[in-house]
Amino acid sequence: MPSLKDSFDELVVRVQSGRDLDHASYEPIYYLIFPPQEILAVKRMLPAWESRLRNDGWTVQTFSMAQAVQEIIGQAPLLKLWVAADAKAPLNWDKTNQALANYLPGELKKRLEAALEALQCQKHAILLVTDLEALHPYTKIGTLEGLLYGKFYAPTVFFYPGERTGKTRLKFLGFYPEDGNYRSVHVGG
C-alpha cells in the first residue's frame, strides 16, 4: 500500500493532467483513499498539502463535512422537534439517525453545490472535501457525488477513509458494503 505522501503526489499529478473522457465520467472528481486508522494523519498533513497546491498555482478551497453537518443540524428548522422526540426515547438511535439521514443529504448537496459554484469562474481552482467520516451513519459521499453530477466545475478531491476493493469499488470506513457507483479517479487505498 502506498504511503499517504506517495498517494498525494500521485493525486497531484492526476489533477494536473485532468480527466479523460471515458465510460464512467469526465467530471473532475478525485478520491484520495486511505485506511480509516490514518484519519488523524491525513488531518495533520492537510495544511502542508494545501500549501503545496497553492505553491503550484492552485486556488484552494476546503469544505469540511464535519463542519457542514454540525451547522446544518444546528440550524435545522426541525431541531426542536428532534430534541423533543429524542427526550421521549433517548435510546432510540435508529429513529434519530433515520431522521438525520432523511434531512442531511439534500442540505449537504446545497452547500457543496454552492462551494462548487463559487469556484466556477476562478482560474485554477480546486475544492478539497474533508472529514467524510462525519457522514456516518447518515449517508455516503457516493450519494452526494451522484446528486451533484454535472455540477463539478472545478477539480474536487474527496479525502476518503476506507478501502479500495477494485478499480471503482470502495468500502466507506472499511466496514460499509462495497460500492462501485463512483464516477471518479481513485488514488491510494
Q: What separation in angstroms does the CA of 81 have from each of 16, 99, 123?
A: 47, 11, 44
Top-confidence residue, 6 or 171? 6
**Is the model's pLDDT at 24 over the cut of 80?**
no
Nearest residue to 62 (alpha-carbon basis) of 157, 133, 143, 135: 157
**Is the model's pLDDT at 177 over the cut of 80?**
no
3-state secondary structure 121-166: CCCCEEEEEECHHHHCCCCCHHHHHHHCCCCCCCCEEEEEEEEECC
Condensed to tens digits (0 to 9), the pLDDT of residues 60-105 reads: 999 999 999 999 988 888 878 777 877 887 787 787 788 888 889 9
Local confidence band at 121 (pLDDT 50, 70, 90 cut-offs): confident
Task: Judge contact between 34 and 7, C-beta under 8 A.
Answer: yes
Local confidence band at 174 (pLDDT 50, 70, 90 cut-offs): confident
Task: Judge contact between 102 and 137, C-beta under 8 A.
Answer: no
**Is the model's pLDDT at 21 over the cut of 60?**
no
pLDDT of residue 20: 56
Count of domains in the chain?
A: 1
**Is the model's pLDDT at 138 over the cut of 80?**
yes
Q: Which domain holds residue 168?
A: 4-188
* Average pLDDT, integer, range 138-161: 89
Written as nine digits, the cell of 10 is 500521485
Q: What is the CATH number of the domain that holds 49?
A: 3.40.50
The position carrying cell 435508529 is 94
**Is the model's pLDDT at 153 over the cut of 80?**
yes
Mean pLDDT score of the chain: 86
